[in-house]
């Protein structure tokens, strides 16, 4: 039976694509670089902001430190303009908390940005811990961050699940020997995620909650 559920943030709990798109293109414009289309951005998300910016420059040489600074400045002001919880997340997290399941977030977004986003949209209160790559010094799919977060939360691999919408989430979960749920409503399709062999795939957040609540899962 699952006692601890750890979630990815972007594409799993919160639809942040619109705000990220506006922010990224403004930063690229400042650097004299071509804009990125929305469908392209989908392929850049998941590995953290450094990977995102490298991919967004499409091989053009630029000052990546300055680009990251500009992106960060704009994102602090625009992270919450259109970002919102995916359907079923609010009620689903409430259900899990009421069932006594401990909830956490492990994202490849910097911890400060993750806290800011969740506070701004009123979603921070569900989680006992929200951590980013700067928290533990590594990005998913490296499982070390997940293992460290589990230790802080007093979680056992046998009763923990990692829920995410990207290969990085599934691989981190597998590396930490925990059950994994790949959600397909986010930024990756079932075909893309299936090759990483998650324990279960869910088409909605409510479906993922049902899996977590199933006493035979885990």
Per-residue model confidence (pLDDT) at position 42: 87
Is pLDDT larger for residue 138 or for residue 75? 138
The answer, yes or no, to whether residue 191 has pLDDT greater than 80, is yes
Per-residue model confidence (pLDDT) at position 192: 92
**What is the CATH number for 54?**
1.10.150.240
**What is the CATH number for 179?**
3.40.50.1000
Per-residue model confidence (pLDDT) at position 72: 86
The answer, yes or no, to whether residue 74 has pLDDT greater than 90, is no
Domain that holds residue 87: 4-15+83-213
> Do 107 and 166 share a domain, yes or no?
yes
> Do 67 and 160 share a domain, yes or no?
no
Per-residue model confidence (pLDDT) at position 43: 86
Would you call 169 exposed, middle or buried from its count of C-beta atoms within 10 A (0-12, 13-18, 19+)?
buried
Distance CA 140, CA 146 (A): 8
> Do 172 and 194 share a domain, yes or no?
yes
pLDDT tens digit sequence for 174-188: 999 999 999 999 999
Is pLDDT larger for residue 79 or for residue 103? 103
Q: Express as a percent the part of the chain with pLDDT over 70.
A: 100
Per-residue model confidence (pLDDT) at position 73: 87
Q: Express as a percent the part of the chain with pLDDT over 90.
A: 84
Q: Is residue 66 in a domain?
A: yes
CB 156 within 8 A of CB 10: no
Q: Is residue 218 in a domain?
A: no
> Do 51 and 112 share a domain, yes or no?
no
> Do 99 and 133 share a domain, yes or no?
yes
Per-residue model confidence (pLDDT) at position 27: 94
> Do 11 and 117 share a domain, yes or no?
yes
Average pLDDT over residues 84-88: 97
Average pLDDT over residues 39-66: 90
pLDDT tens digit sequence for 112-134: 989 999 999 999 999 999 999 99
Mean pLDDT (the chain) is: 94
Distance CA 120, CA 186 (A): 21
Per-residue model confidence (pLDDT) at position 77: 77
> Do 8 and 36 share a domain, yes or no?
no
> Do 8 and 70 share a domain, yes or no?
no
> Do 91 and 188 share a domain, yes or no?
yes
> Do 113 and 182 share a domain, yes or no?
yes
Q: State how many domains the chain has.
A: 2
Which residues are part of the catalytic machinery? Answer: 8, 10
> Do 47 and 128 share a domain, yes or no?
no
């Amino acid at each position: 039976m699952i006692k601890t559920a750890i979630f990815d943030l972007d594409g799993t709990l919160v639809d942040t694509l619109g705000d990220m798109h506006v922010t990224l293109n403004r930063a690229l414009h400042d650097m004299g670089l071509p804009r990125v289309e929305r469908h392209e951005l989908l392929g850049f998300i998941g590995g953290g902001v450094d990977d995102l910016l490298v991919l967004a420059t499409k091989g053009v040489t630029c000052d990546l430190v300055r680009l990251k600074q500009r992106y960060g400045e704009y994102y602090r002001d625009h992270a919450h303009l259109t970002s919102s919880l995916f359907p079923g997340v609010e009620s689903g997290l409430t259900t899990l908390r009421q069932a006594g399941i401990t909830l956490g977030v492990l994202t490849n977004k910097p911890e400060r940005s993750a806290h800011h986003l969740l506070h701004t949209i009123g979603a921070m209160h569900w989680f006992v811990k929200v951590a980013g790559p700067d928290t533990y010094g590594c990005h998913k799919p490296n499982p070390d961050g997940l293992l460290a977060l589990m230790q802080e939360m007093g979680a056992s691999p046998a009763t923990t699940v990692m829920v995410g919408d990207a290969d990085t989430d599934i691989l981190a979960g597998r590396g930490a020997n925990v059950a994994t749920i790949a959600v397909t409503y986010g930024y990756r399709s079932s075909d893309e995620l299936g090759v990483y062999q998650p324990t279960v795939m869910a088409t909605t957040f409510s479906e993922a909650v049902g899996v977590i609540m199933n006493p035979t899962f885990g």
